[in-house]
Amino acid sequence: MAQKAQTNKAPVGYDDTPMIPGSEWRVHDGTRPQPKVVTPGTFSSQDKPGQPPSDAIVLFDGKDLSKWIGRNGEPQWQVENGYMEVNRTGNIETKEHFGDCQLHIEWAAPAEVKGDSQGRGNSGVFLMGKYEIQVLDGYDNLTYADGLTAAIYGQYPPLVNACRKPGEWQTYDIFFVAPHFKEEKLVSPAYVTVVHNGILVHHHQEIMGPTGHRSVASYNVPHGPKGPLMLQDHGDPVRYRNIWIRHLKGYDQE
């Protein structure tokens, strides 16, 4: 019986198949390393943030700002009821630095609508402290397209406006490839994919350079392979919750 079970077993790979060009593995190679097992998290609802996947670095779980630095050291943003809120004490950034990454972040614009255009629920997610994905209350709020919610600020509008109403929790899932410099020269630019509330709004979009205001971005100042995640204090009481990040294997950066 045992022998019969053996013969019915499907093969785990082959050793007589062609080599995959540019790799050291055969097609369906049985000796190719297995991907690491990660336990998936859960999705968020308006009432409750979801659970991060098992290998995520949790940057904010609603309790404290221990992973963050403020303008003068300790971050001063208000933490209550499972969220942090911008309060005109300056930008905050993570102690740990990141390059290529997957970032999940949730935010809510103020329920009480005040101001218009860029003066309404403005904040921002700055990858490496330099590349802004705009946070703005863009629900029924006219502003310039490359400054709308989820825009690569000053460069590319989102593919669609996927905003929820002010006061509601919204999600960004951001997949970022860091730019790469060699001997002060740009070798490859940054790329970003952004999913806003489950909707694709940037698809592997090349970033022109660090975010500016009323200027054309360019990579004129080389920088290292990693930088902090920064959240912008633009003066509006935007809230954040459930922030987690995963390092991604990226370019071989020295």
Distance (Å, rounded) from C-alpha 237 to C-alpha 135? Answer: 12
Distance (Å, rounded) from C-alpha 99 to C-alpha 222? Answer: 14
Instruction: Identify which of residues 141 and 180 has a Cβ nearer to Mg ion in the complex.
Output: 141
Overall size of the chain counted in residues: 254
Instruction: Identify which of residues 100 and 132 has a Cβ nearer to Mg ion in the complex.
Output: 132
**52 counts as binding Mg ion under rule CB under 5 A:** no
Instruction: Identify which of residues 126 and 180 has a Cβ nearer to Mg ion in the complex.
Output: 126
Q: Residues 126-145 vs Mg ion: string with x where CB under 5 A?
A: --------------------
Q: Which helix (H) or strand (E) holds 4?
A: helix 2-8
Instruction: Identify which of residues 56 and 133 has a Cβ nearer to Mg ion in the complex.
Output: 133
Q: How far is the CB of 91 from Mg ion (least distance, A)?
A: 10
Using CB atoms, what's the residue nearest to Mg ion? 124
The answer to whether residues 243 and 226 touch, using CB atoms and an 8 Å cutoff, is no
58 alpha-carbon distance from chain centroid:
13
The closest alpha carbon to 94, from 50, 128, 56, 123, belongs to: 128
Q: How far is the CB of 146 from Mg ion (least distance, A)?
A: 12
Q: Which residues contact 79 (CB under 8 A, 6 or more apart)?
A: 62, 63, 64, 65, 85
**110 counts as binding Mg ion under rule CB under 5 A:** no
Distance (Å, rounded) from C-alpha 213 to C-alpha 215? Answer: 5
Distance (Å, rounded) from C-alpha 199 to C-alpha 161? Answer: 9
- Residue with tokens 């290292």, as numbered in its chain: 224
The answer to whether residues 75 and 224 touch, using CB atoms and an 8 Å cutoff, is no
- Strand duo 170-177 + 191-196: pairing: antiparallel
Instruction: Identify which of residues 56 and 127 has a Cβ nearer to Mg ion in the complex.
Output: 127
| Residues touching Mg ion, count (CB under 5 A) | 3
The piece of 6-14, 69-77, 116-124, 175-183 that touches Mg ion (CB under 5 A) is 116-124
Angle subtended at Cα 122 by Cα 218 and Cα 158, rounded to the nearest 5 degrees: 55
The piece of 55-63, 85-93, 106-114, 227-235 that touches Mg ion (CB under 5 A) is 227-235
Instruction: Identify which of residues 145 and 187 has a Cβ nearer to Mg ion in the complex.
Output: 145
Which listed residue (75, 124, 129, 157) binds Mg ion by CB under 5 A? 124
Q: How far is the CB of 223 from Mg ion (least distance, A)?
A: 20
The piece of 28-36, 59-67, 78-86, 228-236 that touches Mg ion (CB under 5 A) is 228-236
Instruction: Identify which of residues 94 and 123 has a Cβ nearer to Mg ion in the complex.
Output: 123
The piece of 31-39, 203-211, 225-233, 245-253 that touches Mg ion (CB under 5 A) is 225-233
Q: Which residues bind Mg ion (CB under 5 A)?
A: 122, 124, 232
